[in-house]
Chains A and B, each alone.
Chain A
Amino acid sequence: MAENKNIDIAGVSKTFKLSSGDLPVLNNIDLQIESGEFISVVGASGCGKSTLLRILSGLETATTGEVRIGERRVERPSVLTGVIFQESRLFPWLNVEQNIAFGIHQKIDKEQRVRSIAEHIELVGLKGFEKALPKQLSGGMQQRVSIARALINQPNVLLLDEPFGALDALTRIHMQNEILRIWDKEKSTMVLVTHDVDEAIFLSDRIVLLSNRPGEVKKVISVGLSRPRDRSSARFIEIRKEIYTHFFEDSSLSIEYYL
């Protein structure tokens, strides 16, 4: 299927109307994401990066500007755009299998359905846990279930909103490898929102730096390292330093001044 999975973000701004007045969150975001690309959006907390992702998903609408995914103008959520949140958001009353089955959108016969669920359980490495309830799983395993649920409709685009933010450091690194493996297999376009700079460098083709509120695109960095990436390689550290410089340029100036 030669489907167009480009994401085209054109002049997107978002202002929240509060009782205390208008709160601009995003300002004039322009960004083209190619089909099959892995993009990370990095920014300080409250810079509007999650809002940007919610606009891409169709859960929020932009105040001005528009988002297109392929030919479709994003106005409401679609099963062709999968979303993974920081919390796994599983239904506590359904077991692993049933939670994944909840994702299935189109009518398919029972045999195909069972096969598809089994394949996705296998894909996220949860074989043997089909009948477990969410509360019986660790945080990492719960997140795997939510990934399987998002993937079962074979979405063109996968949006990840700090998906590993609540996991411990070791599990997080493990899940980053898993998401690369899944990306390699599914070939979907990935947009990851994170505040973990290393995670962004480890995973992405390009990293978008957002400024503080209202969020604007400060810089787009191409990583250009071959995978699997070595977190301690010279280029890796160089990129990390570059990102830190962008975020802390003001404070580093003042430190130099006092030194």
Chain B
Amino acid sequence: MTSNLKNRFVKIGLGCVLPAVLILTWEILGRQGIINRSIFPYPTRIFETYLDMVRKGSIQKDLTVSAGRVIKGFCIGSSLGLGIGVVIGLSKTANSLAASIIGLLRPIPMIAWVPLLILWMGIDEASKVTLISIGTFWPVVINTSRGILNSDKKLLEVGTILEKTRFQMLTKVVLPGAFPFIFTGLRLGVSSAWTCVVTAEAIAAASGIGYLIMYARELSQPPVMFSGVITIGLVGLLLDTVLQRIEKHVLRWNETDGK
């Protein structure tokens, strides 16, 4: 137990070494003037700006706006993805019908949607939420249908022998079995949603983290830009860590090591 804990600390410690060295080098080079401070401010300078923004509450305000959009878009995109994914997974006809459309639409980069969405919906909330929905939809729909198509035939036979109805088969055998796939889809969906909100805000918005970065560029405030970028990274990391924790708890049965 204690050696386990020790191992964990060593692991975390090792994970911090490289970033620490990088930041330190960056700080020294910045202070010495070897790298251009006006476009590449050094870490303590960014940190001061960051603290200032937190104190004034401006970054929280932008973060709340972005988070609101992500939540709306994620909810719409993931529920559509789940529903359509289940239908595609269950019906061969739906699968072949959808295959060509998915094949065509999925490779379109998110940024290519932005002008179209602005044309259709204007620069209000709707176009941003739609973009996030699209970004969430793809990983969820693809992983859900894959999970259902991967259903264990042997477990399906058990259900057949025990005379389960089609509905019971779906809710008690197929969906729980597909859950690891579905969860992977949701996790990828969340990170995609977070990426999309920044894309949408960077192009046309009057608030949000993406807007914060673009606006700071116009005012040439590199420390603010860096603060925005770091916030995006931190939130992404936080989301993924939380989801991994949830996954570990919900999918205990799916772990192979038995611990």
Interface residues of A (CB under 8 A from B): 57-59, 77-79, 81-83, 85, 87, 89, 91-93, 102-103, 105, 133-136, 153
Contact = CB atoms under 8 A, between A and B. Distances in A.
Contact of B155 (A57, A78, A91): A91
A135 B253 contact: yes
Interface residues of B, number: 19
A133 B163 CA distance: 24
A78 B163 contact: yes
A93 B176 contact: yes
A228 B253 CA distance: 39
A92 B252 CA distance: 10
Nearest to A83: B161
Chain B contact surface mostly: helix
Contact of A79 (B155, B162, B176): B162
Interface string B144-164: 000000000011011011110
B172 A102 contact: yes
Interface of B: 154-155, 157-158, 160-163, 172-173, 176-177, 179, 252-256, 258
A65 to B, nearest CB: 21
Nearest to A99: B158
A57 B163 CA distance: 12
Which 6 A-B residue pairs are closest in the complex by CB-CB distance?
A77-B161, A93-B253, A92-B253, A93-B176, A79-B163, A89-B158
Contacts of B173: 91
Contacts of B255: 135
Contacts of B163: 77-79, 105
Given A93-B253, A103-B162, A136-B258, 13 more contacts: A58-B161, A59-B160, A79-B161, A79-B162, A79-B163, A83-B161, A87-B154, A89-B158, A92-B254, A102-B162, A105-B163, A133-B252, A135-B253
B64 to A, nearest CB: 37
A83 B173 CA distance: 18
A135 B163 CA distance: 26
B161 to A, nearest CB: 5
Given A77-B160, A83-B161, A89 B254 contact: no
Find the residue from B179, B252, B253 having the highest chain A CB count within 10 A. B253
Contacts of A87: 154
Find the residue from B162, B177, B258 having the highest chain A CB count within 10 A. B162
Contact of B258 (A57, A82, A135, A153): A135
A97 to B, nearest CB: 14
A89 B155 contact: yes
7 contacts: A57-B161, A77-B160, A83-B161, A91-B177, A93-B177, A102-B172, A133-B253
Given A57-B161, A102-B172, A133-B253, A93 B154 contact: no
A153 B177 CA distance: 24
Contact of A89 (B154, B176, B177, B253): B154
